[in-house]
Amino acid sequence: MSGVRGVAFATPLTELVGVRYPIVQTGMGWVAGPRLVSAAAEAGALGILASATMPVDGLRSAVREVRSRTDAPFGVNLRADASDASERVRVVIEEGVKVASFALAPSRELIARLKDAGVVVIPSIGARRHAEKVAAWGVDAVIVQGGEGGGHTGDVATSVLLPQVVDAIDIPVVAAGGFHDGRGLVAALAYGAAGIAMGTRFLLTSDSTVPDAVKAKYLAATVKDVTLTTKVDGLPHRMLRTEMVDGLERSGRATALLRAVRHAAAFRRESGMSWSGMIRDGLAMKHGKDLTWGQVLLAANTPMLLRASMVEGRTDLGVMAAGQVAGVIDDLPSCAELVDRVMAEARAALHRLPPVD
C-alpha cells in the first residue's frame, strides 16, 4: 500500500465507499458543514455532513452545496431517534448521498430503506454488543469509538474496544478515538480496522469554520485540559475544561434544569422543530438510554452550548467538545495538507516495520 497524493491506499473501507484513503472526517454538529466536508472529500477522505443541527430543508441545501464543491463521495450523519428521521432519510436518498452514518443505532426499517436505495449505512457504536446487533441488522460497516473520543463517549479505551469489535463482526470496522496521524492509522490497521475516523483533528484545520479564537483555545490545551463531564446533559461528554465547564459542575440541579429549558426553546427556534417534535425526540431518548426526565431536559443543553462556541465564538457561554488528541495538536493545516501528511506518515511507519520472514 502507498500513500502519495493521487494513489489509492486500498482497504475494505475505501472499496466500500469509493474514497482514496481510509480516513473519515466525522459529522460534528455545528462544525462539519459544507466547507469542511467538501474539503475533506476533495482531499481523498470520507467527509461526513452533520445534519442534526439543521432543519430538513437546510440539510437538502447543505448536501447540494457539498456536491457543488466536489464530485467525491461524502456522507450525512443522522440522528436515528429524531422524530423527523424518516424525512431526513428521504433527503439522503433523493439527493443521491453515498453514505448515511448514525450516532445511535438506526432501526432495521431505516437500514433496509437506505440499503434498498443503494446508500451505504455506517453507524457509530461504543460497545461490542452494539456492533454485533447492528451487524446482524445488515449495516455495511461500523465506526467504533473508544473513550478517548470527543463528545459523547464511553469508558473503554480504543486499544481495548477496537480488537474486541474486529473479532466479533465480519464487516469493515473504522476506528475512532485518539487518532490524529499516520502512526495511528497504521496501528488501527494492525488491529484489523479498515481505517480511522477523526473529529478533533479535522475541526483543527484551516477549512473548518470554527472561529479562530476558539481554535486557538484548542491549540493551547494540554492533554490534562481535556475532561469528561456529565454536567452538560447528564451523559458522559468529553470536552475542554474551561471556566464554563467548571461552572456547570458547580451549579445545582435546579439551576441546570432552568438553563436546559431556555436552551431547549432556543434550539427549537434554530432547528425549526415543533415542541411536539422535541417531546417525541425526548421520549425516544428517554426510552433508548433509560434517562430520567431531568436528564432529557439537560440534553437540551448540548446543541446550544456547542453552537455558542463553535459558531458564535463565545467560549464563555458555550462548551467545546474535544477528543484527548486536542492536547497533542499544535497546527491548523488544510484538509488536503492534513490527509497528505497522515498518508505520508503511514507510509513511513509501514516502511519502518521490520520485515517478516
Return the minimum-mean-pLDDT range out of 115-119, 138-142, 269-273, 309-313: 269-273
Question: Hey, is 264 helix, strand or coil?
Answer: helix
Would the pLDDT of 7 be above 90?
Answer: no
Is residue 54 domain-shared with residue 105, that is, in the same domain? yes
Name the domain count of the chain: 2
Residues in the chain: 357
Specify the higher pLDDT residue, 278 or 31.
Answer: 31
Q: At what angle do helices 335-352 and 34-42 cross, to 10 degrees?
A: 40
Q: Which of 104, 101, 35, 45 is nearest to 69 (CA)?
A: 35
- pLDDT on residue 4: 43
Containing domain of residue 268, as a range? 222-321
Would the pLDDT of 273 be above 60?
Answer: no
Return the minimum-mean-pLDDT range out of 162-176, 218-232, 262-276, 318-332: 262-276
Is residue 67 domain-shared with residue 131, that is, in the same domain? yes
Would the pLDDT of 304 be above 80?
Answer: no
Is residue 38 domain-shared with residue 161, that is, in the same domain? yes
Residue 1 lies in a domain: no
**Rounded to whole angstroms, what are the CA distances from 46 to 21, 43, 64, 100, 294?**
8, 9, 16, 11, 37
Is residue 20 domain-shared with residue 101, that is, in the same domain? yes
The set of cell numbers assigned to 156 is 473503554
Residue 3 lies in a domain: no
CATH of the domain at 135: 3.20.20.70
Confidence of residue 1 (pLDDT cuts 50, 70, 90): very low
Is residue 196 domain-shared with residue 234, that is, in the same domain? no
Specify the higher pLDDT residue, 102 or 253.
Answer: 102
Is residue 17 domain-shared with residue 104, that is, in the same domain? yes
Would the pLDDT of 302 be above 90?
Answer: no
- pLDDT on residue 150: 96
Q: Strand 237-240 to strand 151-152: parallel, antiparallel, or no bridges (unpaired)?
A: antiparallel
∠ CA(142), CA(6), CA(74), 5° rounding? 35
- Other CB atoms within a 10 A radius of the CB of residue 253 amount to 9
Kindly report the backbone phi and psi dihedral angles of residue 87, in degrees, each rounded to the nearest multiple of 5, phi listed first: -65, -40
Amino acid symbol at 26:
T
pLDDT tens for each residue of 203-237 = 999 999 999 999 999 999 999 999 999 887 778 99
pTM: 0.89
Residue 78 lies in a domain: yes
Phi-psi region of 178 (alpha: psi -120 to 50; beta: other; left: phi over 0): left
Is residue 27 domain-shared with residue 113, that is, in the same domain? yes
Q: Which of 222, 185, 217, 186 is nearest to 204 (CA)?
A: 217
Would the pLDDT of 3 be above 50?
Answer: no
Is residue 207 domain-shared with residue 226, that is, in the same domain? no
- Cβ-based neighbours of 14, under 8 Å, separated by 6 or more: 8, 20, 21, 22, 194, 195
Is residue 281 domain-shared with residue 194, that is, in the same domain? no
The arithmetic mean of pLDDT across residues 330-352, rounded, is 97
Residue 311 lies in a domain: yes
Amino acid symbol at 207:
D
Is residue 235 domain-shared with residue 177, that is, in the same domain? no
Would the pLDDT of 86 be above 60?
Answer: yes
Residue 309 lies in a domain: yes
Counting Cα atoms < 13 Å in the Cβ hemisphere of 13 gives: 27
Residue 2 lies in a domain: no
The set of cell numbers assigned to 37 is 466536508
User: Which of the 8 DSSP states describes residue 321?
Assistant: B
The arithmetic mean of pLDDT across residues 21-37, rounded, is 97
Specify the higher pLDDT residue, 174 or 272.
Answer: 174
Residue 357 lies in a domain: no
- What is the overall mean pLDDT for the chain? 89
**CA 155, CA 186: separation in Å to the nearest integer?**
23
The arithmetic mean of pLDDT across residues 49-69, rounded, is 96
- pLDDT on residue 136: 98
Residue 6 lies in a domain: no
Is residue 251 domain-shared with residue 292, that is, in the same domain? yes
The arithmetic mean of pLDDT across residues 261-287, rounded, is 58
Is residue 81 domain-shared with residue 32, that is, in the same domain? yes
